[in-house]
A and B are shown apart, each in its own frame.
Chain A
């Protein structure tokens, strides 16, 4: 089954404790992105990757890191999480040829 898999689905952590949210896709898509969803703001792009070893900032990159060492994986790293990073996070992938998107199930992160 074609899908984007995010883990974990739920995470509660403390301020400053480094964490990684994993994202993996099995569709051989070139493009992968991370979005965060906040009430009243919709979804905003954090980082994106156009292929292996090619990443760039989206609209709200502060406080986040990403890497794309393999085509299928695109982890989101919070080196020192803060409460303002409490949000719902989505990973998405798409192919160069097709303009559709596949989203993961989301990760609800709470930073206390």
Chain B
């Protein structure tokens, strides 16, 4: 069975602070994919990144960076110099090579509030 845990329900920071969103996953598969999505107040899901299980290289995209560590089954997301526009719910998700029609297993999400 697959599971994704986002232990942080809500995080509040002041603008320009750095913030890290944690994601821990469980799967028995050796081939799997990890995702991060952003859900702004408007409700749509915005794709941020996809990582496969064979690529542990960390990635940076502007103010966003991701740290993938298979040894701890974690795929954490850091926002540097946060901005008010980063306020949203962030979901981590896992897809393995098993059934479910490419099912994504989502974490419960982390609500990030960035205040002035």
Contacts and interface: CB of A to CB of B under 8 A. Distances in A.
Contact of B102 (A44, A101, A105): A101
Contact of B91 (A32, A43, A58): A43
A101 B50 CA distance: 10
A40 B100 CA distance: 22
Interface string A97-112: 0011101011010000
A3 B16 CA distance: 34
Contact of B44 (A31, A43, A50, A105): A105
Given A42-B109, A105-B43, A105-B44, A100 B101 contact: no
A94 interface: yes
Interface residues of B, number: 22
B13 interface: no
A101 B101 contact: no
Interface in B34-56: 35, 43-45, 47, 50, 52
A42 B43 contact: no
Given A48-B100, A48-B101, A99-B50, A43 B106 contact: yes
30 contacts: A32-B101, A33-B104, A35-B106, A41-B108, A42-B4, A42-B91, A42-B106, A42-B109, A43-B104, A43-B106, A44-B106, A45-B100, A45-B103, A48-B100, A48-B101, A48-B103, A49-B101, A58-B100, A58-B103, A90-B45, A99-B33, A99-B50, A99-B52, A99-B95, A100-B50, A101-B35, A101-B102, A103-B45, A106-B44, A108-B43
Interface of B: 4, 9, 33, 35, 43-45, 47, 50, 52, 91, 93, 95, 100-104, 106-109
Counting from the closest, the 9 A-B pairs by CB-CB distance are A48-B101, A42-B106, A43-B106, A42-B108, A103-B45, A31-B102, A94-B102, A99-B33, A50-B101
